[in-house]
Structure 1
Amino acid sequence: MTMIENFSKPRVNTSMLPLHQGQQVCLLGMASNVDKNGTSFKLTTGDGKECTIKMQDPLSEYVAGLTEVHGRVENGTTVVCDNYIPFPEETSASFDLENYNQAVDLMSRFPDHYIQGVQE
């Protein structure tokens, strides 16, 4: 395994999660419905589908709008969050999630032409 593969976190949408069970992934979508205990929230990705983001520690802030999540796919459409990045409201309002989803789809269909992953 090369160094890039060691740190690779493919960018995926909710529909792709079942293909990545037990693996590290990167998701980008609109966060909503934070659990009252701060232990989870919902993320709607560019394919229009919703997944559950499960926190390892309760959230210390309210999360809403455009959010990037790094974590491990647990079961079905649940991701155990290692790290999340909430974007400012202005970014949420102007970000084109549908175009982003098309890019994610292209990267997954042509993996030899796109190096996927997030370097830590």
Structure 2
Amino acid sequence: MADQDDFEDSQFPDNDELIPYVTAGNLAQRNGAKVTLWGKVTKVSASEGFYVKTVDDQEVLVKLRRPLSDAVEGWYEISGVSQGKSILCEEYVPFSEEMTKNIDTEGHKALAKLLSALDDPWNLGDTGSGGLNGVTPME
């Protein structure tokens, strides 16, 4: 029988990679890096992809590797590579209507701003003996 860790790694092969959230305002600072942003579709372009308005009220072009096959509308979480004021999309995931009823754009904007100010926000320091001051791994 497979070990639980083996199952998780094969189910989510990239789960060790943390992709930072950005807004349009700090997208250019991450030029060439993988990023994730939230946006609401404003227009669709058959030749380019689609445009979204981000939580900081700016428009960003989401470039697609292949033409759209479905209609896009509403809010999406978009992951891809920053290209200045656009993003080369690797994945876009729609938010459900229920999720967008009370979407906290100010909170998400603050989170993205905080994460961009930290060099390595997920680094908890040395995880060797005593590194997490009493926190023990789950069994």
Task: Provide TM-score, normalisation by structure 2.
Answer: 0.70
**Structure 2 residue 104 is matched with structure 1 residue 96:** yes
User: How do 1:99-110 residues align onto structure 2 when only pairs under 5 Å count?
Assistant: 99-110=107-118
SS of equivalent to 1:11: coil
Aligned to 1:23: 33
Structure with the greater alpha carbon radius of gyration: 2
Q: How many residues align?
A: 109
Match of 1:77 among 77, 85, 95: 85
Taking the aligned partners of 2:67 and 2:101, their CA distance within structure 1 comes to: 26
Structure 1 equivalent of residue 77 of structure 2: 68
Which structure has more RCO (C-alpha within 8 Å, separation ≥ 6)?
1
In 2, distance between residues paired with 1:64 and 1:115?
32
CA contact (8 A) 1:38 1:59 kept: no
2:20 corresponds to 1:46: no
What is the CA–CA distance in structure 2 between the aligned matches of 1:9 and 1:71, rounded to whole Å? Answer: 9
For the pair 1:115 / 2:122, whether they are aligned, the reply is yes
Q: Identity percentage over the alignment? A: 29
TM (normalized to structure 1)? 0.80
Q: Give the match for residue 33 of structure 1.
A: 43
Secondary structure, counterpart of 1:107 in structure 2: helix
SS in 2 for 1:31: strand
- Superposed CA deviations along residues 49-69 of structure 1, whole A, max 9, x for unmatched, are 111000111112111111000
Could you tell me which runs of 5 or more consecutive residues in structure 2 were left unpaired when the two chains were aligned: 1-13, 124-139
**Shift in Å, 1:86:** 0.6
Runs of 4+ in 1 over 2 A off after TM superposition: none
**Aligned-partner SS, 1:32:** strand
Give SS of 1:41's match: strand
Secondary structure at the residue paired with 2:57?
Answer: coil
Q: Residue by residue, what CA displacement relative to the aligned partner does 1:18-51 show, whole Å, maximum 9, x if unpaired? A: 111111111112122011x274111111111111
5+ long unaligned stretches in structure 1: none
